[in-house]
């Protein structure tokens, strides 16, 4: 049987260069109108029992090439469970080796969360009687920007994910967060919904998601560099979400991402904003401490460098929302690799583990919500 490679589906990304026996040479395709690339998601057919050698020839030019060291690609044959497969990075080429048992195997940078799955997530959540679903507007490709409102409390809590569409772990996190928040028997959910109103955008970048992008929208724009001045032409996703935030106000916000290089879960804050207040910073620290106590999958030793006073990048949402609203804001980063403090050799960092971390993040919010109420009084 002849080996065949395809990516003409929701979230697919790969270019076939050559097939030679069981070896397939491939390239990742850049985001449209952008130089960024690193997300891949493709299907190999005709592969049962064959020792595949998949070589991504342009891996060395990817957005975060240092992210390939210690990284293992994911493979699925049932499109439900995604396992790590043998992967090595040498001479700027990423080589994936696997011997599928069936004639159809799927490979991806991380377990994909497609737009079809996104629509299932939104439809399921919207059926809950206490959820208000709305579209905040449309993207450049004409997709809806889905928004969910949950709860009746006075605090405005914003959770939004996937500004960077290749960071699919961010929407697996959203699945876990919504499961917990909408569990009517869960005491943390019941208390949070009484004390706060949750404003949730599970996917900030539907166009990049469907197009198989790493980092940008349909116009090649990095949405997390637009928050100081979003526009209908370049970044309607940010424009519409920020307009809604101005209507609701923001007391607490979490922006959910994935990081290519660091094998750990960590938070980044809003240090360096012009209006920095000690009390605001102390609440970020209190939240981080609470999450560290609640989840062995979260740590505070590894992370990004902290901005010096006055040096915050206000084009990024976490800094912009902390500055504009005086809110407690944060960026959550999860790994493409694994959490090295608690590794899982089979799956690495995985959809299930994203969902569990989301549950812990809500518990951490519950642990500090009295302090947030006090701060906003």
The binding site for Zn ion (CB under 5 A) comprises 164, 167, 257
Q: Tell me whether residue 171 is one of the annotated catalytic residues.
A: no
Q: Which lies closer to Zn ion via its Cβ, residue 32 or residue 83?
A: 32
Partners of 26 in the beta sheet?
A: 16, 56
Q: In the complex with Zn ion, which residue's Cβ is closer, 148 or 316?
A: 316
Query: Which one, 100 or 208, has the nearer CB to Zn ion?
Result: 208
Residue tagged active-site, from 167, 237, 333, 347? 333
Strand-pair partners of 122: none
Query: Are 109 and 14 spatial neighbours (Cβ–Cβ below 8 Å)?
Result: no
Are 38 and 166 in contact by the 8 Å Cβ rule? The answer is yes
- Supply the minimum distance, in Å, between the C-beta of residue 225 and Zn ion: 11
> Between 164 and 213, whose beta carbon lies closer to Zn ion?
164
* Cα separation, 311 vs 304, whole angstroms: 14
Q: ∠ CA(158), CA(257), CA(7), 5° rounding?
A: 120
Cβ 259 to Zn ion, closest distance in Å? 7
CB atoms inside a 10 Å sphere around CB 232: 10
Instruction: Provide DSSP, 135-146.
Output: EEEE-TTS-EEE
Q: Which residues of 286-305 are buried (b: 16+ CB within 10 A; e: fewer)?
A: bbbebbbebbebbbeebbee
Whichever of 38 and 350 has its CB closer to Zn ion, that residue is 38
- Report the alpha-carbon distance of residue 33 to residue 58 in Å, rounded: 18
In angstroms, rounded to a whole number, what is the distance separating the alpha carbons of residues 134 and 146? 6
Instruction: List the catalytic residues.
Output: 333
């Amino acid at each position: 049987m002849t080996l065949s490679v395809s990516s003409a589906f929701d979230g697919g990304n790969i270019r076939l260069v050559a097939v030679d026996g069981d070896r397939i040479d491939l390239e990742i395709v850049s985001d449209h109108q952008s130089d960024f690339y690193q997300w891949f998601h493709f299907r190999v057919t005709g592969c049962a029992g064959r020792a595949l050698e998949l070589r991504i020839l342009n891996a060395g030019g990817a957005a975060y090439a240092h992210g390939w060291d210690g990284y293992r690609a994911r493979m699925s044959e049932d499109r439900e469970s995604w396992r790590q497969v043998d992967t090595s990075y040498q001479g700027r080429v990423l080589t994936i080796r696997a011997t599928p048992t069936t004639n159809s195997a799927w490979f991806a940078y991380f377990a994909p969360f497609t737009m079809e799955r996104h629509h299932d997530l939104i439809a399921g959540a919207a059926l809950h009687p206490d959820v208000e679903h709305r579209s905040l507007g449309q993207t450049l490709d004409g997709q809806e920007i889905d928004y969910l409102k949950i709860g009746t409390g006075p605090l405005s809590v914003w959770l939004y994910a996937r500004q960077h569409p290749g960071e699919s772990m961010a929407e697996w996190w959203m699945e876990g967060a919504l499961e917990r928040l909408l569990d009517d028997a869960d005491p943390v959910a019941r208390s949070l919904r009484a004390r706060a109103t949750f404003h949730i955008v599970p996917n900030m970048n539907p166009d990049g998601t469907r197009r198989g992008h790493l980092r940008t929208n349909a116009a090649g724009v990095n949405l997390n560099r637009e928050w100081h001045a979003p526009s209908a032409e370049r970044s309607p996703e940010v424009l519409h979400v920020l307009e809604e935030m101005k209507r609701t106000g923001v007391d607490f916000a979490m922006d959910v991402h994935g990081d290519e290089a660091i094998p750990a879960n960590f938070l980044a804050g809003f240090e360096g904003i012009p209006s920095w207040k000690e009390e605001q910073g102390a609440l970020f620290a209190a939240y981080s401490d609470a999450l560290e106590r609640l989840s062995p999958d979260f740590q505070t030793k590894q992370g990004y460098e902290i901005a010096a006073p006055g040096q915050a990048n206000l084009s990024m949402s976490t800094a912009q929302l902390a500055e504009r609203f005086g809110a407690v804001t944060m960026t959550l980063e999860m790994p493409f690799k694994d959490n090295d403090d608690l590794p899982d050799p089979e799956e690495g960092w995985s959809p299930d583990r994203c969902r569990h971390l989301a549950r812990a993040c809500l518990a951490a919010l519950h642990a500090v919500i009295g302090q947030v109420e006090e701060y906003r009084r």
